[in-house]
């Protein structure tokens, strides 16, 4: 099987790569389906030709609240040892927003 073309064939391919049927794979089919769902979710979140996962800090202002959006072009580069890296204009998607400080 060169190219898996269904959910079942992808799971069977994974079992084969793990050594099945020579090695007994003690995984229930529903567990394999759940892991495939996790892998596909992860791929959908990060498939943009090798994106880099980074965290940006931005203080919400009253202007942001009034506009009901945050202009990412104003967010500076990611902090790091050299202070360079992706900036807000490089953001492709936002996965999670964290709240810091007083709630």
Q: 12: buried, middle or exposed (CB in 10 Å: 19+, 13-18, 0-12)? A: middle
The model scores a pTM over 0.75: no
Predicted pLDDT of residue 73: 80
58 shares a domain with 42 = no
| Structure confidence by residue, pLDDT tens digits, 20-32 | 999 999 999 999 9
Residues 41 and 61 in one domain: no
Q: Assess if residue 1 is contained within a domain.
A: no
Q: Is the pLDDT of residue 45 over 90?
A: no
Give domain status of residue 24, yes or no.
Answer: yes
**What's the domain range around 36?**
7-46
The predicted pLDDT at position 96 comes to 82
55-61 average pLDDT score = 82
Number of domains in the chain: 2
pLDDT bucket at 81, cuts 50 / 70 / 90: low
């Amino acid at each position: 099987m060169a190219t898996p073309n269904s959910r079942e064939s992808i799971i069977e391919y994974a079992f084969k790569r793990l050594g099945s049927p020579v090695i007994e794979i003690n995984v229930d089919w529903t567990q394999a389906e759940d892991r495939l769902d996790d892998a596909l979710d992860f791929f959908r979140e990060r498939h943009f030709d090798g994106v880099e996962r980074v965290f940006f800090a931005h203080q919400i202002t009253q202007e942001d609240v009034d506009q009901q959006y945050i202009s990412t072009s104003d967010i500076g580069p990611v902090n790091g040892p050299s202070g360079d890296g992706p900036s807000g204009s490089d953001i492709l998607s936002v996965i999670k927003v964290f709240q810091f400080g007083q709630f």
